[in-house]
């Protein structure tokens, strides 16, 4: 019998304090969390609960004040800023509520940006960007600028930009916050497919239960602490089972 694989990410006794003395504010208060390769975790909680600070810590955008953060067994909490930046470039992709696309730049050129920063050649960048855009359903839209795309399409470009480097972890911070309900469902279906079909680990901050319904786990923060961590039956799988059951009855 093989040994259980260690978690992709492990947080132990993580704290984060901003400021000093009487002005000090403790945003995280001893967080323990394990995340397996291929997981899809929705991170929820009220404003000021610590969920965004936890996301910044997980994405190596911020460094914990105390505690241990292990990524693939490597002690991230001990890395300096440059080493954390290299870790982000190699293993992480980011999607934000605002699309952060360059306005006068085509969809393909926006998606190529992370590869440009890596120093990849023009042909390699173009091929990878086209593949990423195809993966998010935007084949044929490569040369359109953001102004020529809907909000949902712009977020798809942002997701393509996040996955063009083939990240191990995709971090999404309120990815549907600027979208209407139909576009939100489309983006969540896309994130679920990237997780389910490509095995990308997805960590998503959201305040909407309808969006969290797509995750495999729902983690809730309250007052800087991890309040609950519960498994979830993802909505697309429930829908597939219901459709299959209806077909069998017919």
pLDDT computed for residue 192 by the predictor = 96
Note the pLDDT tens digit of each residue in 108-139: 999 999 999 889 999 999 999 999 999 999 99
**Which stretch of 67-76, 83-92, 196-205, 236-245 has the lowest confidence by average pLDDT?**
236-245
Q: pLDDT band at 1, cuts 50/70/90?
A: very low
Facing residues of 17 across strands?
26
Rounded Cα distance between 52 and 80, Å, is 21
User: What is the per-residue pLDDT across 134-167, written as a single tens digit (0 to 9) for each?
Assistant: 999 999 999 999 999 999 999 999 999 999 999 9
pLDDT of residue 3: 56
The tokens describing 137, both together, are: 């359903």
245 falls within a domain: no
Determine the Cα–Cα distance for residues 74 and 86; give it in Å rounded to an integer.
Answer: 13
CATH code of the domain in which 114 resides: 3.40.50.300
Tokens of 77: 């909490």
Query: Does 17 reside within a domain?
Result: no
Domain that holds residue 52: 37-65+80-239
Q: Which residues contact 110 (CB under 8 A, 6 or more apart)?
A: 101, 102, 146, 157, 161
Instruction: Report the alpha-carbon distance of residue 6 to residue 14 in Å, rounded.
Output: 19
If you average pLDDT over every residue of the chain, what do you get? 93
pLDDT for the residue numbered 241: 85
Number of H helices, E strands in the chain: 8, 10
The total number of structural domains that make up the chain: 1
The residues with which 42 forms a beta bridge, in sequence order, are 204, 218
- Is 9 domain-assigned? no
Determine the 3-state secondary structure of 241 from DSSP: helix
CA distance 112 to 128: 8
Give the Cβ contact number of residue 50 at 10 Å.
25
What is the spatial distance between Cα 167 and Cα 190, in angstroms, rounded to a whole number? Answer: 16
Tell me how far apart the terminal alpha carbons of the chain are, to the nearest angstrom.
Answer: 43
Better pLDDT: 238 or 205: 205
Task: Work out the average pLDDT over 189-199.
Answer: 95
């Amino acid at each position: 019998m093989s040994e259980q694989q260690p978690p992709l990410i492990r947080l132990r006794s993580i704290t984060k304090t901003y400021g000093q003395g009487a002005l000090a504010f403790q945003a995280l208060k001893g967080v323990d969390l394990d995340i397996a390769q291929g997981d899809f975790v929705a991170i929820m909680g009220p404003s000021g609960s610590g969920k965004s600070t936890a996301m910044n810590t997980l994405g190596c955008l911020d460094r914990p004040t105390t505690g241990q953060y292990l990524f693939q067994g490597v002690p991230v909490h001990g890395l300096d800023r440059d080493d954390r930046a290299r870790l982000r470039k190699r293993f992480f992709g980011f999607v934000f509520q605002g699309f952060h696309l360059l306005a006068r730049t085509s969809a393909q050129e926006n998606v190529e940006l992370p590869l440009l920063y890596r120093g990849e050649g023009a042909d390699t960048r173009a091929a990878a960007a086209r593949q990423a855009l195809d993966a998010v359903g935007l084949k044929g839209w490569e040369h359109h600028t953001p102004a020529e795309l809907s909000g949902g399409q712009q977020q798809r470009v942002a997701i393509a930009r996040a996955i063009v480097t083939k990240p191990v972890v995709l971090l999404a911070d309120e990815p549907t916050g600027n979208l209407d309900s139909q576009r939100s469902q489309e983006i969540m279906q896309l994130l679920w497919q990237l997780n389910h079909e490509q095995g990308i680990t997805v960590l998503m901050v959201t305040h909407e239960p309808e969006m969290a319904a797509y995750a495999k786990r729902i983690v809730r923060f309250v007052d800087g602490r991890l309040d609950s961590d519960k498994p979830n039956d993802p909505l697309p799988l429930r829908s597939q089972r219901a459709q299959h059951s209806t077909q069998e009855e017919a």
